[in-house]
Amino acid sequence: MSLTPDDVKRIARLARIEIDDAQAQATQAQLNTIFDLIATMQAVDTASIAPMAHAQEVYQRLRDDVVTETDRHAAFQAVAPAVENGLYLVPKVIE
């Protein structure tokens, strides 16, 4: 499997990365070498091996349902570009 220039542009758009045609072409070549690597790995027969969700066979630790956090919005908002009435302000989004 290899990627087309359109695939690359779509992936870039999904990641909100702006690229021009020359960059798309260079990226396409790089991504395709990664796909070659995947193709090599896919040649291995894994039919009898259960898929793993994580590299190690350990499980999630759970925490008790207790409120431990305090209000730190002033500190967090000190570095925000725009704030009003405790809200973060962002460029208008309408869906």
Partner 1 sequence: MKRGHDNWETVIGLEVHTQLATRSKIFSGSSTAFGAAPNTQASAVDVALPGVLPVLNKKAVECAIRFGLAVDATLNRVNVFDRKNYFYPDLPKGYQISQLAKPIVEGGTLKIVVEGEERTIHLTRAHMEEDAGKSLHEDFHGMTGIDLNRAGTPLLEIVSEPEMRSSAEAVAYARALHTLVTWIGICDGNMQEGSFRVDANVSVRPVGQAEFGTRREIKNLNSFKFLQQAIDYEVRWQIGTLEDGGRIEQATVLFDPDTGETRMMRSKEDAHDYRYFPDPDLLPVKLDEDWIEAVRAGLPELPAAMQARFQADYGVSAYDAAVLTGSRALADFFEAAARACGQGKLAANWVMGELSAALNKAELDIAQSPVSATQLGTLIARIQDGTLSGKLAKQVFEGLWEGAGEVDAIIEARGLKQMSDSGELEKIVDDVLAANPKSVEEFRSGKEKAFNALVGQVMKASRGKANPAQVNELLKTKLQ
Phi first, then psi: what are they for 83, rounded to 5°? -140, 140
CB nearer to partner 1: give 20 or 84: 84
Residue whose C-alpha is closest to residue 74's, from 65, 66, 83? 83
Q: What distance in Å separates the CA atoms of residue 5 and residue 36, rounded to the nearest whole number?
A: 17
14 lies in the binding site for partner 1 (CB under 8 A) = yes
Among 21, 22, 38, 59, binds partner 1 (CB under 8 A): 59
Q: What distance in Å separates the CA atoms of residue 43 and residue 36, rounded to the nearest whole number?
A: 11
CB nearer to partner 1: give 44 or 59: 59
Among 33, 38, 64, 78, binds partner 1 (CB under 8 A): 64
62 lies in the binding site for partner 1 (CB under 8 A) = yes
Give the helix/strand (H/E) hosting 83.
Answer: strand 83-84
Query: Residues in the site for partner 1, rule: CB under 8 A?
Result: 14, 16, 53-54, 56, 58-69, 71-73, 76-77, 82, 84-95
